[in-house]
Homo-oligomer: A and B are copies of this chain.
């Protein structure tokens, strides 16, 4: 089993923190996104979505998308759980992980991919080229501010993003806050609940080991 990885990027980092929390050690294959190695014909044959991370099982099955990779390990090594334990908790983790991804990860990615010089035709992850839309970079910045306010409100009433337990939804939310540093949009000073949660979760050994 191998994980195709590029630890500097935010989405691979979500999986790397997840695996460290679960105590799973796995062989890594480096794929350099900055050199475009995810678009090589060799990699594309394994993963037509041309993104990182990607998990290759011993039988050759290739799983891309963080939801897919984390689900594989949730099923094959349930403990410690990062997905809740009851049906209601598991559903709540899925919900908040999705909201952090949609309103946080995608918002920062909209800014970064539609404004960074090196991404001129790479505004969307995947095999196809699309030109940058400057208006989308502007909108992403507005969306990120709303993400900060909304998640601050959530964390005013809850110890963790999905409730009273640490989960995959916290990992995604933490990675949003660090990814936002790439575009110089730190947690706003008035989001005190989000900041206190961030200070707490960023000290976890699995997070410190995957900076």
Contacts of A123 in B (CB 8 A): 139
Which of these, B55, B91, B127, contacts A72 with CB under 8 Å? B91
Question: Are the C-beta atoms of A63 and B88 separated by less than 8 Å?
Answer: yes
Q: How many copies of the chain does the oligomer comprise? A: 2
A67 touches B87 (CB 8 A): no
- Known contacts A88-B57, A88-B61; A124/B95 CB under 8 A: no
A72-95 contacts to B, CB under 8 A, are 72, 75-76, 86-88, 90-92, 94-95
A124 to B127, CA, bound (A): 25
Q: Is A133 an interface residue (CB 8 A)?
A: yes
Q: Check if A95 sits within 8 Å of B75, measured CB to CB.
A: no
114-141 of chain A: CB within 8 A of chain B: 123-124, 126-128, 130-131, 133, 135-136, 139
Distance between A140 CB and nearest chain B CB, rounded to angstroms: 10
8 Å CB interface, A89-122 against B: 90-92, 94-95, 97-99, 103
Contact with B along A145-183 (1 / 0, CB 8 A): 010001001100000000000000000000000000000
Q: In this assembly, does A191 line the interface, its C-beta being within 8 Å of a C-beta of chain B?
A: no
Asked if A49 is at the interface (CB within 8 A of a chain B CB), the reply is yes
Residue contact A91 to B71, C-beta cutoff 8 Å: yes
Q: How far is the CB of A60 from chain B (nearest CB, A)?
A: 11
* Residues A94 and B76 in contact, CB atoms below 8 Å apart: no
Q: Are B61 and A92 in contact (CB under 8 A)?
A: yes
A57-B88, A76-B87, A91-B63 known; A133-B130 Cβ under 8 A? no
Report the bound CA distance from A97 to B65 in whole Å. 10
Can you list 15 residue pairs at the A/B interface with Cβ under 8 Å?
A48-B153, A63-B91, A63-B92, A63-B95, A64-B95, A65-B98, A65-B99, A68-B92, A68-B94, A71-B91, A103-B126, A124-B143, A133-B135, A135-B136, A136-B136
Spell out A's residues near B (CB within 8 Å). Answer: 48-49, 55, 57, 59, 61, 63-65, 67-69, 71-72, 75-76, 86-88, 90-92, 94-95, 97-99, 103, 123-124, 126-128, 130-131, 133, 135-136, 139, 142-143, 146, 150, 153-154
